[in-house]
Amino acid sequence: MRSGWLLPLLALVVMVAAPARAEQGVTDTEILLGGSNSFSGPLAFTGEQITKFGVDLGFKAVNDGGGIHGRKVRTIWYDDGYKPQDAVANTRKLVEQDQVFAVIIPQGAPPVVATLEYLEQNRVPLLFPYQSSTVTRGRHWVFQGMTMSDRSSRMMIDYLVGRRKYRKFAALYQDDEYGKSFLTAFEKDLARHGLRLLAVESVKRGVTDVSAQIAKLHTAKPEVTFLVLVPGPGAQALRERQKIGWTDTLMVSTGPLTDERYLSLAGDAAEGVEGLSLWPDPLTSDLPGVRRYREHMQNYFPRNEPNRYSLAGYFAAMLFAEGATRAGARLTRESLIAALQSVKRWESGILPPLTIGPDHETQKQAVWVRVERGRFKQLTDWLKSE
């Protein structure tokens, strides 16, 4: 144990002596960011990709290009294994011990929500949390990353009912915050069109068999079946449909699910499946930003396959760099918030030009895709959710 009074006294002397209090986590040469994420547990793959191969990839590129106003960005990651209490402990350690400037891209609703109030009380920016429920909306210190479930739902329902004229819907969802928040949004948006979900079925994370759920949904005869799942169970659902020869329904995946892993797991059972895609195709897109992302991945992590998760992390790093650059040489938490809020028609080369308003939502659009010969084929231009 350290001697009780010496440390606070020294700290006081230093604080009084310092000319102007620099912002926590920012020095003349460095900006320190951190996050609690899943490096073990059910979402370990996504967690590792968005952080170490996504955010860190973006910052390696930024740092090698000279940094932000001469400052290099450094990141610290802690594992929470998707446990809320561990996320709280990690986040406190980041803020109090490591003295980070901001928290970036924590994953999953329960861990993020558990730390929300603490971060607000301590005026620490929470940047681009990787979850889609609406709890993070309308908060001064939070900039939402992933497209929120109610916006996704609005785009999906309006497209399917408005343009494609479907009337009968059902949903298979994961029994957690992610699944429930989509279910609520679907019901609300269908009600706007005077429709409702004919059947809903739920599965647990790590489910071994979805045959009963698919059989029940089958009997409801929906024209469209939403899949609000993660890749494993999503692919299982598609395989199960193939097993029972259920062909007269359109399977539609939500934004968080529409990814390459789910395709490769489902194999030929994925043919014809449609979905809302939050990102352009990370492997084949010709957009300049996505090409740059692939080049950087090739340079820094040649052994890591490009995918949507690392692309999302990479985008988050780019957006932070844009905000911090706009905030100027005297970077503070307040100036970062103001700078991000004033981002107008920013060209990432990945998503359409980005304007962030006072609602702090950085993603509001998506494209519609269909699986043709094992790849996602884009069917629409960017759909809007305003």
Partner 1 sequence: MRLLALAIGAAGLLLWPWAAPRYFVFLASLIVVNAIVAIGLNLLSGYTNQLSFGHAGFLAVGAYTAAIVATRSPGVPVVVALLAAALVTAAVGLLLGVPCLRLEGLYLAMATLAFGFVVVEAILNLDGLTRGNDGLRVPAARLGPWVLATDTARYYLVLAVGAVMVWAAGNLARTRTGRALLALRESEVAAQASGIHVARYKTLAFAISALYTGVAGGLFAFVVGFLSPDAFDVFLSVDFVAMIILGGLGSVPGSVAGAAVLTVLNDSLAGFQNYRPLIFGAILIASMLFMPGGIASAVRRLRTRWAGHPPMAPGSRRGLE
Partner 2 sequence: MTIAALVHVVVSGLATGSIYALVALSLVIVYNATRTLNFAQGEMLMVSTFAGFTVYAHVKLPLVVVMLIAVAAAALLGWVIERVIIRHAIGATHFDVLIITLGLSLVLRSAAGLAWTHDEFPFPSFFGTRPIVLGPVRVAPVSLGIIGASLALMLGLWALFTRTRLGRAMRAVAQNQRAARLVGISVERVYAASWILASVVGAIAGVLIAPVVFLSSQMGLVAINGFIAAVLGGFGSMPGAVVGGMLLGVIENLAPLYLPSSIKHSVPFLALIAILLIRPGGMLGRVARRKV
Among 135, 195, 265, 379, binds partner 1 (CB under 8 A): 135
| Residue pair 197/171 in contact by the 8 Å Cβ criterion | yes
Q: Can you read off the two tokens belonging to residue 215? A: 């059989």
**Interface characters, 6-45, with partner 2 (x: CB under 8 A):** ----------------------------------x-x-xx
CA distance linking residue 64 with residue 59, whole number of Å: 8
Helices then strands, counting H and E runs in the chain, come out as 13, 13
Helix (H, G, I), strand (E, B) or coil at 268: helix
At residue 381, the 3 state secondary structure works out as coil
DSSP string of 62-113, one letter each residue? HHHTT-BTTBEEEEEEEE-TT-HHHHHHHHHIIIIIS--SEEE--BSHHHHH
| Two tokens, residue 292 | 């740059």
- Please choose which of partner 1, partner 2, none residue 267 contacts, taking the beta carbon within 5 to 8 angstroms, the exact cut-off set by kind: partner 2
Establish if 175 lies at the interface with partner 2 (CB under 8 A).
yes
Among partner 1, partner 2, none, partner that 213 touches (CB below 5 to 8 angstroms by kind): partner 2
Show contacts with partner 1 in window 203-242 (CB under 8 A).
Answer: none
Segment contacting partner 2 by CB under 8 A, of 96-104, 160-168, 234-242, 337-345? 234-242
Which positions from 28 to 67 touch partner 1 by CB under 8 A, shown as an x/- string? Answer: --------x--xx---x---x---x---------------
Q: Are 240 and 270 in contact (CB under 8 A)?
A: no
Give Rg (Cα) of the chain. Answer: 22
Q: Is 358 exposed, middle or buried (0-12, 13-18, 19+ CB in 10 A)?
A: exposed
Is the CB of 42 or the CB of 349 nearer to partner 1? 42
Nearer to partner 1, 79 or 322 (CB): 79
Report the partner that residue 231 touches, choosing among partner 1, partner 2, none (CB closer than 5 to 8 A by kind). Answer: partner 2
For residue 316, count other CB atoms closer than 10 A to its CB. Answer: 26
Q: Which of 60, 69, 118, 239 binds partner 1 (CB under 8 A)?
A: 118
Interface residue with partner 2 among 136, 213, 253, 254 (CB under 8 A) is 213
Q: Which of 8, 219, 248, 302 binds partner 2 (CB under 8 A)?
A: 219
As a whole number of angstroms, the distance between CA 343 and CA 337 comes to 10
Question: Of partner 2, partner 1, none, which one sits near residue 245, judging by CB under 5 to 8 A according to partner kind?
Answer: partner 2
221 binds partner 2 (CB under 8 A): no
Which listed residue (90, 144, 254, 307) binds partner 1 by CB under 8 A? 90
Query: Contact between 119 and partner 1 (CB under 8 A)?
Result: no
92 binds partner 1 (CB under 8 A): yes
Q: Is 93 in the site for partner 1 (CB under 8 A)?
A: yes
Which residues inside 268-327 make contact with partner 2, applying CB under 8 A? 269
DSSP string of 209-259, one letter each residue? --HHHHHHHHHT--SEEEEES-HHHHHHHHHHHHHTT--SSEEEE-TTT-S
Is 296 a binder of partner 1 (CB under 8 A)?
Answer: no
C-beta separation of 295 from 349 below 8 A: no
Residues contacting residue 281 through CB under 8 Å, at least 6 positions apart: 290, 375, 376, 378
**Closest distance of CB 54 from partner 2, Å:** 14
The residues of the shown chain that bind partner 2, judged by CB under 8 A, are 40, 42, 44-45, 48, 175, 200-202, 204, 206, 208-209, 211-213, 215-216, 218-219, 231-232, 235-236, 239, 242-245, 261, 264-265, 267, 269
